[in-house]
Amino acid sequence: MALAHSLDTVYTVNTPEGINLSLSPAGPMPRMLAWLVDSLIRILIYTATFIVLAILGSTGTGLALIITFLVEWFYPVYFELFKNGQTPGKKSLNLYVVQDNGSPVTPSASMIRNLLRFVDFLPLFYGFGLVSMLLNKRFQRLGDLVAGTVVLYKDNELLKTVSNNDLDDESSDSLISITPPVSLQSKEQQTLLQFQQRQKSLTKDRAEELAGLTGLLVDDAEEGAKTSYLNGLSRWIAGKR
């Protein structure tokens, strides 16, 4: 059944408070643009440092090299830990770094993901990192995979916490539970619930278009009512019967 694949790249994690948190990973292009912005900022810092310390001769050069080393390796760590996971580059692209379960990035994870940048950079211009991002749904480079981190969009329309009570929202298209016509696997049930939760960030036309991708599952639904039909299935799955 076509339903088994996830909708877009959004994935959901369950918090200890019983809240479903929908997370939207950032792809290679916005991450590259953020990296270019941060690289430009670091280059400006290096240039200013060498110019200012040049008056101290060889001593100034030594100090400038030490500062360059510290900025190169701890610039991202500082911003990830003390600026809500956002370097200036990531902030300009509305991105941020968190653990893959949605919690704030930890000091050890931030250190690991940034120390492994030299591996991601190989053999040239983040070649390994790009291949790694293209091979997993959360666009994690090797450093992210080892550290258990992910880069997400920080967008109020894409990131929403949705409680189970949202299935009872009066604005829902359907308050009727519908028994699935076929047996649904666990992943398929999760996809239906995720679809219901994301509707507040989708237009009605887009939601209906996505509903149509479930193929045979919505064959019994009337034209224009596929979203409502899937919402009824979601309520049945959630035990709202």
User: Who wins on pLDDT, 90 or 22?
Assistant: 90
The per-residue pLDDT for 133 is: 94
Residues linked to residue 96 through DSSP beta bridges, in sequence order? 152
Contact call for residues 214 and 220 (beta carbons, < 8 A): no
Distance CA 12, CA 16 (A): 13
Torsions phi, psi of 88, nearest 5?
-55, -40
72-117 pLDDT, tens digit per residue, is 999 999 999 999 899 999 999 999 999 988 888 999 999 999 999 9
Greater model confidence, 2 or 100: 100
User: Cis link prior to 123 (omega < 30° from 0)?
Assistant: yes
- Site of tokens 């239906």: 192
Residue given tokens 């219901």 in the structure block: 196
CA dihedral 167, 173, 175, 178 (to 10 degrees): -100
Instruction: Indicate the SS3 state at residue 6.
Output: coil
* DSSP code, position 160: E
Query: Across residues 126-135, what is the average pLDDT?
Result: 93
pLDDT of residue 233: 82
pLDDT tens for 158-211 read 334 444 444 444 444 446 778 877 777 766 777 777 777 777 667 777 778 877
Predicted pLDDT of residue 1: 41
CB-based burial label for 89 (10 Å; 0-12, 13-18, 19+): buried
